[in-house]
């Protein structure tokens, strides 16, 4: 029984490609295929360093996405793709069936255009702290619980330590954002420790961060429901995944063209 529970399916470029070929044969459009690939590559990244699916993967991934702040709609969509992949792999018994119920109360997604509008509005209102909080979370992918790791020292070094369920990683901060953060710290006479500090010198409380970020929404004409740390994190993740999916598609297309050219030069048949 122990060996059965350890049964796994490798989630590789090859197995993903085979799944997408089947979906294409069933009439799925190119946009849908890209969404499927994006979801499975996101799962593959979550599973690292062992990119293999087992009987508990769907439940564990769902729990992780909830804790990361993904919307119910996004979680449902990704689990649906995983279910289709599991069906393709002959493992229907591993599928996740208890999805979230669709509801009108599902939190809407913040768009990149709305994010830019928030930044411009914060600048016009001379709300520098709010501007930087929005940019740090939406532009650099620092989550609210990781803000205390964003210190003057780490900004000078150019990287910030991020922790996610016993996984540690260091993310490089964009040069423009580093310059803005250091200038802000200098004007606020913050020489060390967290860039965003409370009055007592410690890190800002999460409730204060939520309030600061949300305070720009009305003037920016962006729904208040969309303007919070979770929405900024989701927008950051969705943006990155969209870019990565586009790059992977371009890489596949480039490689296929190279093989076609080689076939013309060195194919068996003229």
35-94 confidence digits (pLDDT tens): 888 889 889 888 887 788 998 999 999 888 887 777 777 888 888 899 999 989 988 889
Burial class (CB in 10 A: 0-12, 13-18, 19+), 102: exposed
235-264 confidence digits (pLDDT tens): 998 888 888 878 888 888 898 899 999 988
Q: Residue 49, preceding bond cis, omega within 30 degrees?
A: yes
Rounded Cα gap, residues 174 and 139, in angstroms: 9
Give domain limits for the chain.
Answer: 8-103, 112-236
Q: Is residue 187 scored above 50 in pLDDT?
A: yes
CATH match for 8-103 among 1.20.1260.10, 1.10.150.130, 3.40.50.1100, 3.90.1200.10? 1.10.150.130
Tokens, residue 196: 């965003």
**Band of residue 122 on the pLDDT scale cut at 50, 70, 90:** very high
- Per-residue pLDDT, 5: 45
CB 108, CB 100: distance < 8 Å: no
Rounded Cα gap, residues 16 and 51, in angstroms: 12
CB 79, CB 46: distance < 8 Å: no
Q: Residue 104: helix, strand or coil by DSSP? A: coil
CATH of domain 112-236: 1.10.443.10
Q: What percent of the chain has pLDDT over 70?
A: 91
3-state SS record for 61-73? HHHHHHHHCCCHH
Least confident of 24-28, 131-135, 163-167: 163-167
Rounded Cα gap, residues 244 and 166, in angstroms: 24
Q: Is residue 234 scored above 80 in pLDDT?
A: yes
In the numeric block, the tokens 């650099």 are attached to 140
Looking at the chain, how many residues does it have? 270
Dihedral over Cα of 6, 93, 34, 259: its sign: positive
Q: Is residue 229 scored above 50 in pLDDT?
A: yes
The reported pTM is 0.62
Mean pLDDT of 176-193: 94
Say if 8-103 and 112-236 have the same CATH topology: no
């Amino acid at each position: 029984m122990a060996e059965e529970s350890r049964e796994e399916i490798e989630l590789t470029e090859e197995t993903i490609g085979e799944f997408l070929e089947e979906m294409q044969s069933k009439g799925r459009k190119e946009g849908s295929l890209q969404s499927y690939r994006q979801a499975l590559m996101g799962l593959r990244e979550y599973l690292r360093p062992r990119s293999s699916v087992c009987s508990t993967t769907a439940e564990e991934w769902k729990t992780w996405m909830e804790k990361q702040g993904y919307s119910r709609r996004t979680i449902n969509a990704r689990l649906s793709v995983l279910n289709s992949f599991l069906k393709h792999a002959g493992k229907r018994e591993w599928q996740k069936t208890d999805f979230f119920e669709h509801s009108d109360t599902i939190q809407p997604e913040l768009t990149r255009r709305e994010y830019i509008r928030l930044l411009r509005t914060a600048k016009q209102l001379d709300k520098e702290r709010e501007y930087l909080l929005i940019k740090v979370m939406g532009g650099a992918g620092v989550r609210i619980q990781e803000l205390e790791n964003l210190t003057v020292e780490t900004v000078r070094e150019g990287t910030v330590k991020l922790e996610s369920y016993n996984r540690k990683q260091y993310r490089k901060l964009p040069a423009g954002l580093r310059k803005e953060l250091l200038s802000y710290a200098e004007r606020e006479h913050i020489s060390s420790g967290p860039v965003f500090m409370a009055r007592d010198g410690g890190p800002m409380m999460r409730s204060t961060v939520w309030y600061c970020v949300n305070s720009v929404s009305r003037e920016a004409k962006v729904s208040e429901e969309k303007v919070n740390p979770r929405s900024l994190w989701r927008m950051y993740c969705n943006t990155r995944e969209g870019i990565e999916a586009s790059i992977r598609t371009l890489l596949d297309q480039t490689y296929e063209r190279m093989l076609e050219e080689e076939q013309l030069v060195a194919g068996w048949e003229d």
